[in-house]
Amino acid sequence: MERSLVGRNLAALRERQMWTQVRLAEEAGVSPTTVSGIESGRISRPHFGTLRKLAGALGVEPRELVSVPGAMEGVAPSDLSLEWAMSSGEAEFERGLEGASIDGLSSLFRELGEEQGRLRRLYGEARGSGQRRLIKNMIRHVAANSGSVEASITAHEDEPPEHSPERPSPRDDHPDTQEPSA
């Protein structure tokens, strides 16, 4: 079952707080089954009252749970924010990288590196195996995203610019359309 936008946003916001599903449920006054159901997609259309409780516990507005990350600030997901990188699915993430500029990729790579450092510090301060497991999962997720961004940067650097002597013109691809040599 694929997670809904609400489920992805809820999980991303909860993980940024370094909370387990049980901790969020306790803070919001809902059952852990509800939190798990929303995040996994089993509950695809949660009640607004439930969203309001969850958002309040996380310190965000309910609309942040139901909107595309970055949309509240007028930023498109293609602008490659850390929030977008952490809450998007793998396919959406890779599509976003494909059309990104080298500057956008470099900026996201820096943000991911900073986030990885922050998570490593938190791991050292973590209490309990549940919190350490959650932080380790996030570190793996950030590292995987960082590796994808780094590969995209490398691919950008390997591409010769348009109309450069290194890049063949469309005519070079078809020998029968080349001009005769002198």
The tens digit of pLDDT for each residue in 154-171 reads 887 766 655 445 544 444
Cα(144)–Cα(12) distance, integer angstroms:
16
From 82, 77, 67, select the one nearest 16 (Cα to Cα). Answer: 82
Domain ranges of the chain: 1-67, 76-159
Find out whether 6 and 51 touch, Cβ atoms under 8 Å.
yes
H or E segment and range at residue 125: helix 102-125
Give the position of tokens 């939190």: 35
Q: Could you please state the CATH topology (level 3) that the domain comprising 1-67 is classified under.
A: 434 Repressor (Amino-terminal Domain) (1.10.260)
Both tokens of 126, joined, read 């973590």
Helix and strand totals (H; E) in the chain: 9, 0
Residue 94 has pLDDT above 70, yes or no: yes
Cα(66)–Cα(4) distance, integer angstroms:
9
The tens digit of pLDDT for each residue in 99-133 reads 788 888 888 899 889 988 988 888 888 888 888 88
Residue 137 has pLDDT above 80, yes or no: yes
